[in-house]
Structure 1
Amino acid sequence: MSTTTGERTARPHRPPHLTAEHEETRSRVRGVLGDVVLPQADAWERQGRVSAEGWRALGAHGLLDFAHDGEEFLHSAVLLEELGRTGYAGIRASVGVHAFMALSYVRMFGTAELRATLLPAAARGERIAALAISEPDAGSDLRHLSTRAEPLGDGGAGGFRVDGRKCHVANGSGAGFFVTLVKTRRTSGDRGLSGASLLVIDADAPGVTRTPQPMTGWRSADVCRVDFDDVRVPANALVGRRDMALLHLMKALDFERLVAGLLAVGGVGYCLELLDGFVRRHRVKDVPLGSHQAVRHRVAELTGELELVRTYAYHAAQLHAQGRLDTRTASVLKLKATELAVSAAQACVQYHGARGYLEDAAAARLYRDAMAGTIAAGASELMRDMIYDTH
């Protein structure tokens, strides 16, 4: 499907933290995405994954090697918003997980050896990263984590033997490696994530099995179930401190929610461009649909909400760039941006009528995709709890 939204193109204001240099980044990124992603996006949706050629093209243009922290992160925030503005949430999720979410653990907590081994190939799009955290009985609540990594040798010097199952893993079939949450120490009673660790597991290691889990939306995100059956993992694949994954997750999950929020902001922007163009162009009883007050006011209300959330998103990005992002800010952004995406998608389908509910309609894709954003990287209910608890 074409991403054309009509002759009129919305011009969102420039957030106060951005400069002309950031807008140059926006123009460059938008151009690359227009050349590399959009012509192939529908094909990737049908095949359920970004192609190997697509990954390498993104890498060749430098889009998989943006900063994770420091002042340069504001350029990354622009990239993430523009990924969302492609209108394909599966693609934005796939790239976001690879280039930011999964690799953030390696960048923040990996050894120099592990970073040197993984990051250059990941930046080139040659080895794709996936994040294997959730399990059938451990999603938002990870206390029932059951995937085990049995230490081998004295204190794990001989590596680990991993057994267990992960689900809802984006980039599952195309991944070169999984950043995986495992139990490395047996604990008694309800001890939360005590005794948990993070391991990098080679996707092609003997005993790793990947099974596609087709989703209603996010069709190009390559979501899979991953089974580990007596998988041997070397000791140097440990990410961060053994048995101390909770400390790493607390920091990395705030970053994930920031990334998810920025991606969602871009998605809402695309959705409202599509909606605005349609209601101005489509005629009912010989007048534009947008001439009806109820329609105008609904579009205006959603546009105003987007302006507020977008400004807050770049505020959160600036805090992260300064090393000051907190759980409450990340949770507020993730909650409000993804919930707004649902509201915008509902309005988009409703005003498009039956044509918006066709299987191949852009409005229908946005509607299918929107709900996933309120679940991944922390469900909306969890975000509300975290906001309340940090008040």
Structure 2
Amino acid sequence: PLQTEQHSTKRLEPSSAKTLLDIGTRRIFSSEHDIFRESARKFFQEEVLPFHAEWEKDGQVSRELWEKAGQQGLLGVAIAEKHGGIGADILSSAIVWEEQMYVNCTGPGFSLHSDIVMPYIANYGSEEQIKRFIPQMVAGKCIGAIAMTEPGAGSDLQGVRTYAKKDGSDWILNGSKVFITNGWMSDVVIVVAVTDREARSPAHGISLFLVENGTKGFIKGRKLNKIGLKAQDTAELFFEDVRLPASALLGKENKGFYYLMAELPQERLLIADMALAGCEFMFEETRNYVRQRKAFGKTIAHLQTIQHKLAEIKTQICVARAFMDNCLQLHADKRLDSATASMAKYWCSDLQNSIATQCVQMHGGWGYMWEYPIAKAFVDARVQPIYGGTNEIMKELIARDIVSDK
């Protein structure tokens, strides 16, 4: 399995490389990581990119793609081998996140499945739950989702209304969730629910449950019609008197909020890295465009206003990449704290939207046409400051850490 070897100090950083997408750059990676990146890049270019426009029309990717990704070893990359995962490091997971963005294909919900959902099961699940779900999820035969957000509770996790009531040794689950990525295709969903309404604070009364597709009373509403992420299935989920056995409880009763707080930094890191990879893609796409587009008798790459804009964008990306790679290394060393992850998420997702706007502008009217990749990158970027905790919440978390007396 891929692990971090002694990294070469001779590796180029992106600022000095021919393009921001070059393989073999960035000191946090090794030659083993490069081999894995080549394999991931080939997969996304051959198995995702040619079919993505069709999946955008369908509102979801194919089940077959998930199984192909499993066969290629691209799912559950950082999950321990003893649990049935690939057993590589989190930097290898980051390669999958980045390579997906480098083809501008946001449809496959691999990152959520592998690096948000699976860690909850691997870290807090029983031996039976791990054996039941992880190998199937790594194979792409069982698709995972997590249901936190509700119509009336998004950023405020303590405002969750979905309720699971004890009935003998079983639980009866009632409530609804919205904006659930992989929700429509999911085979298993981690559901965040209140289990103790009398708890001294809402945080002390939340639990997590594993709810399988086909369970009586578990209803999938509609695939939501979003302005972007068109090939990513995002659904409403309803739970009407869903009877769950005691074995459906994930981890300990009333500990769900603490599990969520422990895992959210990785989710925010993932969003940040994918946002920045999106910036790198948009920069290279725009650089290629301005070299070809002619105006006033020469390519627009010769116009100083375009040159300066590209200089600014590349500098912003390279500065963010230095911080982002530092965060990835901290996380690989298990030293990434919540405030730092929040900084990465807020900064990189804001940057992605700023760069998307500027790159569309440099494309002129063509930048507003759907057949140009930059148009899709523009609309897909807009959700990044919203999900995974809004950027306003990120600033709250960062500020809380700054003014804390602890």
- 301-310 or 167-176, which deviates more: 301-310
* Alpha-carbon contact 2:55-2:107 (below 8 Å) kept: no
CA distance in 2, matches of 1:159, 1:360: 52
CA distance in 2, matches of 1:187, 1:317: 40
CA distance in 1, matches of 2:275, 2:346: 10
2:155 to 133, 136, 140: 140
1:283 to 278, 294, 319: 294
1:263 to 263, 274, 283: 274
1:96 to 111, 115, 118: 111
Residue ranges of structure 1 left out of the alignment (5+ in a row): 1-7
Cα-to-partner distance string for 1:208-256 (whole Å, 9 max, x where unaligned): 1112111111111100000000111111111111101121111110111
Partner of 1:73: 90
* Alpha-carbon contact 1:15-1:311 (below 8 Å) kept: no
The size of the alignment, in residue pairs, is 377
Partner of 2:401: 390
Q: CA deviation at 1:202?
A: 0.7
Cα-to-partner distance string for 1:282-305 (whole Å, 9 max, x where unaligned): 111111112122211111111111
Partner of 1:213: 224
Partner of 2:13: none
CA distance in 1, matches of 2:330, 2:370: 40
| Residue 84 (str. 1) matches residue 101 (str. 2) | yes
Bigger relative contact order, structure 1 or 2 (CA pairs below 8 A, ≥6 apart): 1
| Residue 48 (str. 1) matches residue 59 (str. 2) | yes
Paired residue secondary structure (2:383)? helix
- Pairwise CA RMSD: 1.7
Q: How does 1:32-181 map to 2 (within 5 A)?
A: 32-68=43-79, 72-91=89-108, 94-153=109-168, 158-181=169-192
2:360 to 343, 349, 352: 349
C-alpha spacing 1:115/1:175, structure 2 compared with 1 (3 Å): same
Cα-to-partner distance string for 1:100-140 (whole Å, 9 max, x where unaligned): 11112111111111011001111111110011000011101
For 2:208, the aligned partner's letter is: L
C-alpha spacing 1:24/1:252, structure 2 compared with 1 (3 Å): same
* Alpha-carbon contact 1:71-1:321 (below 8 Å) kept: no
For 2:212, the aligned partner's letter is: D
* Alpha-carbon contact 1:212-1:223 (below 8 Å) kept: yes
Partner of 2:214: 204
* Alpha-carbon contact 2:147-2:191 (below 8 Å) kept: yes
C-alpha spacing 1:387/1:127, structure 2 compared with 1 (3 Å): same
Give runs of ≥4 in structure 1 deviating > 3 Å: 8-13, 68-71
CA distance in 2, matches of 1:248, 1:104: 10
* Alpha-carbon contact 2:181-2:233 (below 8 Å) kept: yes
* Alpha-carbon contact 2:111-2:270 (below 8 Å) kept: yes
Cα-to-partner distance string for 1:7-27 (whole Å, 9 max, x where unaligned): x85455822211222122111
CA distance in 1, matches of 2:88, 2:328: 9
Q: How does 1:215-254 map to 2 (within 5 A)?
A: 215-254=226-265
Cα-to-partner distance string for 1:34-86 (whole Å, 9 max, x where unaligned): 12111111111111111111111111111013015897221112221112212
Partner of 1:330: 341
Partner of 1:5: none
Give the TM-score normalised by structure 2.
0.89
* Alpha-carbon contact 1:345-1:367 (below 8 Å) kept: yes
Q: CA deviation at 1:192?
A: 3.5
Partner of 2:309: 298
CA distance in 1, matches of 2:188, 2:88: 29
C-alpha spacing 1:358/1:319, structure 2 compared with 1 (3 Å): same
Give the TM-score normalised by structure 1.
0.92
Partner of 2:4: none
1:193 to 203, 216, 221: 203
Paired residue secondary structure (1:27)? helix
C-alpha spacing 1:226/1:82, structure 2 compared with 1 (3 Å): same
Partner of 1:19: 30
Residue ranges of structure 2 left out of the alignment (5+ in a row): 1-17, 81-86
Paired residue secondary structure (2:208)? strand
- 60-69 or 70-79, which deviates more: 70-79
CA distance in 2, matches of 1:349, 1:168: 27
Once the two structures are aligned, what percentage of the paired residues are identical?
A: 30
